[in-house]
Structure 1
């Protein structure tokens, strides 16, 4: 009941919820994104603790979840420490670079065999790329994080896979090499049929995985 479609006759964007708690926003976006494209949905980076839920969640999580809509800031920059300021600047620059692609992306909410994890793929078919968000909203139930399979939109394509925030991952005994960063070529068929083992995450952290159009070695040299 926060807004309705009629509001778009008077505004460029709508505000889907008063809560900027990223856990709650992740759920809100599941519903509003079925009706509206990302460019029309205001999603802001809030302060900690959250003004609505009192939750204290990492600044990186607050920034990453805000990328799912039209990112903005709703906090006092003067209260940020230097490393926090750098985090906000980093993800703001990233949003500006990816804004055009994200504004035309489709949302795919994925099934995971672990209730304490949520995942959504924002995929732009015309640009053959997207972002995979994996949010840890509860404590792990297994020693290894689960495998998730991506939807059919990735089949038949080649991607450069990159975990953009490996610093937010946690230790796991048998982690995959790509969990430590870097760009890794992978086929969409593998992502759909075999799946991808997600990084091990601490409670309240969100992994952001970029699927970029595959750059062949010949293309990179040219």
Structure 2
């Protein structure tokens, strides 16, 4: 009987130590300013959303000019309003209403990070790929025309490896919107940094 009790204690101790990284690692690394949905005044989703399991990190850009004089909270509120109603796109198409902001995290021009859609639910896209399984990170700017700011680069260099570690995402599962759809997103200047980010995910400089 005593042997059985000891065995059960050992088994319980073993499994209590086997917590997945997602349960223990912080979402946002120390040193990065993070604005939660509550802090920026997010509305609730207006439609149902699809639960998913994160297996990829996928980078987008906003494809709009960087706005250093607007607060991150204001940008997120505007993006949510655009997202949750039928809205015209730059190419003249009409976008249907989405449940919420299509991305999970927003990296603004100052390197601050905003919480957008709940990570437990798949994002949306106006292109023909299924974003289920993708942790979608949007970086503020049009990187066909603009450069990534030093603050954005500093944040991405911390954020991407931390997210990959937390969710068990490998370097070869870090990509960009254009890897899955016919689009220029996230712009040539940001897309060109992906090999650097992948090296960071493997622990290389």
If asked which structure has higher relative contact order (CA below 8 Å, sep 6+), I would say: 2
Q: Same fold (TM over 0.5)?
A: no
Output the TM-score relative to the length of structure 1. Answer: 0.30
Instruction: Give the strand-richer structure, 1 or 2.
Output: 1
TM-score by length of 2: 0.32
Larger radius of gyration: 2
